Amino acid sequence: MSRFAAKFVEKELQIQTTGLSGKNFVLGLPTGSTPIGMYERLIEMNRAWEVDFSKVTTFNLDEYYPIKRDNSQSYYKFMFDNLFGKINIDKKNINILSGEVSDADSECLEYEKKIEAAGGIDLMVIGLGANGHIGFNEPGDFLIPYTHATDLTQDTREKNMRFFNSLDEVPSKALTMGMGSILKAKKILMLVSGESKKEAFKNLLDGKITTKIPVSFLHLHRDVTVLSDMKL
């Protein structure tokens, strides 16, 4: 799954950067355990000159809030440890929501503007939460279309507790791209791995769209590829 995903990213990047536009390839990226294998493969490919990140701009999906960037569990640190610190990307082209700001709303608004100014996201890679969330768009009565601050559900905090020392240490909020920010991407690649995702994945395949299963909104996008290592 990871090799295929890395190849998919490389192919899309190649198509865009060999074109005449001169525009950077805009790549949306997730965190979590699922994309780690893809990141490892992309690093190998970058070292072998099979993929070049010098004309790539990235936007990460989400970040805990509040959190210091140097906290071992921040998504900022995750991205530098698992990808950005090991590839030839120009650091000024990396965009990650900051969990350090005092004004979360203007951080989110600025982020949307930056995505727009970059020309929109060409390829958005996402994972899937066990409760059907994408980024931190949690199941509920409604979804917010644009980048916003959100409360994490108890369920998500418990799931993510494995990376922290205790539940108290897991931030209760996060900043996340909204469902609309995700659906505006030209292409979406979703990676689904692990038994805990089975229920959410089956719900997706069910075909009904509901805010109780945020991933179901992918049915509204015309270009989604799902890669999974799961037997249903």
Enumerate binding residues for ligand GLP (CB under 6 A). Answer: 30-34, 61-62, 127-129, 135-136, 156, 160
Residue with smaller CB distance to ligand GLP, 25 or 64: 64
Residue with smaller CB distance to ligand GLP, 45 or 215: 215
Residue with smaller CB distance to ligand GLP, 129 or 178: 129
Beta bridge partners of 64: 174
Catalytic residue among 24, 95, 107, 133: 133
Residue with tokens 């009565």: 141
Give the whole-angstrom CA distance, residue 26 versus residue 17: 10
Closest distance to ligand GLP from the beta carbon of 90 (Å): 24
Closest distance to ligand GLP from the beta carbon of 33 (Å): 4
Alpha helices in 51-140 (DSSP H): 75-82, 104-117
Q: Which is nearest to 217 in space by CA: 185, 195, 194, 193?
A: 185
Query: Is 138 an active-site residue?
Result: yes
Query: Is 95 an active-site residue?
Result: no
Q: Could you give the dihedral angle defined by the CA atoms of residues 189, 31, 78 and 85, in that order, rounded to the nearest 10 degrees?
A: 0
Give the sign of the dihedral formed by CA 4, CA 7, CA 9, CA 15.
Answer: negative
Closest distance to ligand GLP from the beta carbon of 15 (Å): 25
Closest distance to ligand GLP from the beta carbon of 51 (Å): 22
Structure tokens at 14: 């190649």
Query: Is 131 an active-site residue?
Result: yes
Catalytic residue among 12, 62, 63, 122: 62
Query: Is 24 an active-site residue?
Result: no
Residue with smaller CB distance to ligand GLP, 16 or 177: 177
Q: Which is nearest to 217 in space by CA: 182, 177, 174?
A: 182
Closest distance to ligand GLP from the beta carbon of 190 (Å): 9
Alpha helices in the chain (DSSP H): 2-17, 36-47, 75-82, 104-117, 154-160, 179-183, 198-206
Residue with smaller CB distance to ligand GLP, 5 or 24: 5
Which residues are catalytic, by number?
62, 131, 133, 138
